[in-house]
């Protein structure tokens, strides 16, 4: 049986791709390890690489605000991971071979969390989890079956910082996610005014 401790240790020793050679810190994941909801981003940026935690800095602050809108928090009821655990140089997109090398780590995180639903943060995460030709502008907010788990994608917080015009669509997507949580994970909101 896999454990979080073993998985973190193994992942920290990973040398399957060159990204491990240039990282400052492994960015494994954060949040509640038994959460019903898993959020998956693409990979660490500069601040994440320095701190060893996903979604810190301006994009992380925006993500926390987005979660708060629907009464979620990395401290109480979600787990956050990335497709790759080491920062791609200059914040470029992870290469397919890098994502493939990291796939086992994410799959083992999914197996340990056992989420009832997954939310992809941005196109890159969606192309690796939902479908390789996923189009975020057309398909954000739609639900897909990923190995028996309902999965959707919303715009990445960094994209929302660059283009505020996408925020109203994202708000609609967040409200739909809240509805899906109520349907599939009522325990998340038990005792809440939502």
45-57 burial, b for 16+ CB within 10 Å, e for fewer? bebbbeeebbbbe
SS3 call for 69: helix
Render pLDDT for 71-128 as a digit per residue (tens, 0 to 9).
999 999 999 999 999 999 988 999 999 999 999 999 999 999 999 999 999 999 999 9
Cα 112 from Cα 108, distance rounded (Å)? 6
* Whole-structure pTM value: 0.95
Q: Which of 36-45, 86-95, 185-194 has the lowest mean pLDDT?
A: 185-194
Using the structure block, give the residue that is written with the tokens 């086992």. Answer: 104
Q: How is residue 127 annotated by DSSP?
A: H
SS3 call for 73: coil
């Amino acid at each position: 049986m896999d454990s979080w401790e073993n998985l973190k240790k193994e992942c920290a020793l990973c040398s399957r791709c060159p990204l491990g050679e240039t990282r400052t810190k492994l960015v494994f994941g954060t949040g509640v390890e038994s959460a019903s909801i898993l959020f998956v981003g693409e990979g660490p940026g500069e601040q994440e690489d320095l701190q060893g935690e996903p979604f810190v800095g301006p994009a992380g602050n925006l993500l926390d605000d987005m979660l708060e809108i629907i009464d979620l928090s990395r401290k109480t009821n979600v787990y956050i991971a990335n497709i790759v655990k080491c920062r791609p140089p200059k914040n470029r997109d992870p290469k397919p071979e890098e994502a493939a090398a990291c796939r086992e780590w994410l799959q083992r995180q999914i197996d340990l969390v056992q989420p009832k639903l997954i939310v992809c943060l941005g196109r890159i995460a969606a192309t690796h989890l939902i479908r390789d030709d996923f189009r975020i502008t057309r398909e954000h907010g739609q639900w897909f079956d990923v190995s028996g788990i309902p999965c959707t994608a919303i715009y990445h917080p960094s994209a929302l910082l660059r283009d505020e015009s996408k925020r109203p669509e994202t708000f609609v997507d967040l409200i739909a996610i809240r509805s899906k949580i109520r349907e599939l994970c009522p325990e998340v909101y038990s005792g809440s005014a939502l």
